Structure 1
């Protein structure tokens, strides 16, 4: 269960902007509905499909003997091919169903990081999962070549079994996998990487790790269904507020009060930044700048800037219902010279973190900074699915108001072309 609270109207100057007209909300809803029906992006369909689950089940059944020996799952991919999976793993890794399998991400061309990630790794007890829409992303293809050479993975049918690819239908990577008889799962071409975690990109690895992927998709499906039934109007209100105030509040902060959201923040930063930083249909540059923070750590690094720096930011808080986390507690211990800290003695760390979040939120609201709050009752597969689809839908709604294509990334492609020219 997720609870959404918006406090945009606590700022007297912008209170009237926090309540868009019914006509404005109807217009945005109509645009997003048409986009979904036109299948501009395939992510809308993913929560309701069973293709990814069936493909993963078939793969696991065919490779059951091998998978029983796997101790390490190595994900080779970058950006949308890895960030979504990392986000869900970070949120769910505490669950008892999580198998005792090491999860390693090869996503960086930093030579030090490559050596560190693969140190002591043996092919015999590892599965290398290559995730790329095309396979031609230079980081992914280079890292793939490296592990193939290092572990001699194309030597035989036995070694090839330690490889699996997830890619677009009829992509270069798909053709490569079929030619070498490497296991391959495909996704639709109209599903962008940063919107792909509900596809095989996320489903196969999550299933291999022991998570209930059916509940993951179910959580996303329930929220999306409610949104298109006009039962989650807060999302439309927020999208309109952020889009219409983009010049006044160009920076959007996600302040997550649990280290479990560290990788989720990184996924949000890519989703928001890469989707919304575009040229609109009139050739004007538009966009919103995402920042991900972790509470209470970043209260000591970024809060000063939020409260007394330029008033150009909105803040979304994410927190957990702390009632289920009564342990551990701060010892009722008095230490000479540290008497000023005794007021928290005997309190659970969960309660301390919760009160720190409330104090920070109220401090920010007092300064007139627009805020909203997402409270999660329990970290589980269903709530993770709801959280993913919420931010994807919010991104799409803002993109439609901006009159942009939220699903391409031409600016990134320019960099790729320049890199090729340099070589």
Structure 2
């Protein structure tokens, strides 16, 4: 369903040797210890029924309201919104996706607030506030706005909260008798999409969330049985060559991946940009591109700029997309473009990716490729868990805490002081 091909070996050298079996075994053991220690709860989400049961319970109790809603508005920022947005963008072509507009209030930009809420009426809308604590200033401010604007405390059935157990936001929901669903506090925000944070909105939209979790579960089981060691090899390469290749590019060949790219950037940057146990600042810089659009804006820099980047290509099987085709039309003075006539746009995009990948490889730039056979809930579950697990593996080698974000907290403190 999803295949992984690694081309890093092509640039192996004495300075970046291929990892030994002992190195692979050591990293595997570190990840297993981290999983068992429950330092981060995301490892266990694909194996749990909590998110599905809590979401089903909420949907059954509010079936009358949910049968009439036309707008689902997510109020949250970062990990509270990016994962759900990414999955919906990848899967919104599926026939069982309900005709409900998914909107996000995640920005304090007044223009975006007005744009997101344009035409939204209370009677056919559900507002979902998502925050681990509720004290994130963007989320709390946006929640206050909709509470006042739509008089939601007089219409509490149109509001639901997803938050940590025993958080300030849960206590507020209890006091005001607003419906809430909790998640485990050890599930970090950017690793939370397979919890109720993502499962409830996706289930309301009609997606097969059981298959989403099944895809993630199957990938983790394969990893546990040492059938996905490519992820260990990639993590070791990226971590050990970080001084030579500090920039990691995700080059996704479909606009369906544009929001997945944004989710990856947050996951990678916020997890890996840290101070290690020796007091050294470390990190890997993520860049997300969409092909073929960014071939005309970024490929030049990759191929002839500083050789400090690795590139991961992400694409899906386009064999089922034979239409539309480029017409057999020859235009005066533009005859040089006729070589693609009668070709499907899917085939053209595929060849553009192959040509780009070969060009980059010929420059000695390290690459790998992820191929999705079909964009469905199960394959997306695999993709989500692959990148989460890869992030954890790199974090272990860098000797950092992959799951905190002290730099972000410093900014929050300074903002409070400014006010």
Q: Is residue 2:318 matched to residue 1:325?
A: no
CA distances 1:296-351 after superposition (whole Å, capped 9, x unpaired): 00000000000000000000000111111111111111111110000000011000
Tell me how far apart the structure 2 counterparts of residues 63 and 271 of structure 1 sit (CA, whole Å): 33
Which structure 1 segments of 5+ residues have no match?
Answer: none
* Matched residue count: 419
User: Which of residues 253, 258, 271 is equivalent to 1:257?
Assistant: 253
- Contact preservation (8 Å) 1:74, 1:127: yes
Q: Is residue 2:382 matched to residue 1:383?
A: no
CA distances 1:178-215 after superposition (whole Å, capped 9, x unpaired): 11111111100000000000000000000000000000
Judging changes above 3 Å, is the alpha-carbon distance between structure 1 residues 294 and 15 closer, same or farther for their aligned structure 2 residues?
Answer: farther
Tell me how far apart the structure 2 counterparts of residues 257 and 36 of structure 1 sit (CA, whole Å): 33
CA distances 1:89-139 after superposition (whole Å, capped 9, x unpaired): 111010001000000000000011101111121000000000000000000
- Contact preservation (8 Å) 1:9, 1:16: no
Judging changes above 3 Å, is the alpha-carbon distance between structure 1 residues 269 and 349 closer, same or farther for their aligned structure 2 residues?
Answer: same
Trace 1:328-343 onto structure 2 (pairs within 5 A).
Answer: 328-343=324-339
Q: Is residue 2:116 matched to residue 1:117?
A: yes
Deviation at 1:380, TM superposition (A): 0.1
Deviation at 1:15, TM superposition (A): 8.1
User: Which of residues 265, 270, 282 is equivalent to 1:269?
Assistant: 265
Q: Is residue 2:183 matched to residue 1:184?
A: no
Counterpart residue number, 1:64 = 63
Deviation at 1:10, TM superposition (A): 2.2
RMSD: 0.9
Trace 1:304-323 onto structure 2 (pairs within 5 A).
Answer: 304-323=300-319
Tell me how far apart the structure 2 counterparts of residues 70 and 245 of structure 1 sit (CA, whole Å): 50
User: Which of residues 389, 394, 411 is equivalent to 2:390?
Assistant: 394
Tell me how far apart the structure 2 counterparts of residues 85 and 18 of structure 1 sit (CA, whole Å): 38
Tell me how far apart the structure 2 counterparts of residues 36 and 15 of structure 1 sit (CA, whole Å): 33
Trace 1:209-288 onto structure 2 (pairs within 5 A).
Answer: 209-288=205-284
Counterpart residue number, 2:6 = 6
Deviation at 1:9, TM superposition (A): 2.1
Tell me how far apart the structure 2 counterparts of residues 352 and 14 of structure 1 sit (CA, whole Å): 35
Runs of 4+ in 1 over 2 A off after TM superposition: 13-19
Counterpart residue number, 2:76 = 77
2:97 aligns to what SS in structure 1?
coil
User: Which of residues 177, 200, 204 is equivalent to 1:204?
Assistant: 200
Counterpart residue number, 1:91 = 90
Counterpart residue number, 1:101 = 100
1:315 aligns to what SS in structure 2?
strand
TM-score normalised to structure 1 length = 0.98
- Contact preservation (8 Å) 1:272, 1:395: yes
Tell me how far apart the structure 1 counterparts of residues 274 and 313 of structure 2 sit (CA, whole Å): 26
Q: Is residue 2:412 matched to residue 1:416?
A: yes
Trace 1:342-361 onto structure 2 (pairs within 5 A).
Answer: 342-361=338-357
Deviation at 1:16, TM superposition (A): 7.9
Tell me how far apart the structure 1 counterparts of residues 18 and 174 of structure 2 sit (CA, whole Å): 54
Higher mean C-alpha displacement, 115-124 vs 143-152: 115-124
1:293 aligns to what SS in structure 2?
strand
Tell me how far apart the structure 1 counterparts of residues 119 and 27 of structure 2 sit (CA, whole Å): 53
Tell me how far apart the structure 2 counterparts of residues 208 and 19 of structure 1 sit (CA, whole Å): 46
- Contact preservation (8 Å) 1:18, 1:237: no
Counterpart residue number, 2:402 = 406
TM-score normalised to structure 2 length = 0.99
Tell me how far apart the structure 2 counterparts of residues 16 and 349 of structure 1 sit (CA, whole Å): 42
Tell me how far apart the structure 1 counterparts of residues 55 and 120 of structure 2 sit (CA, whole Å): 24
Deviation at 1:17, TM superposition (A): 3.5
2:319 aligns to what SS in structure 1?
helix
- Contact preservation (8 Å) 1:9, 1:15: no
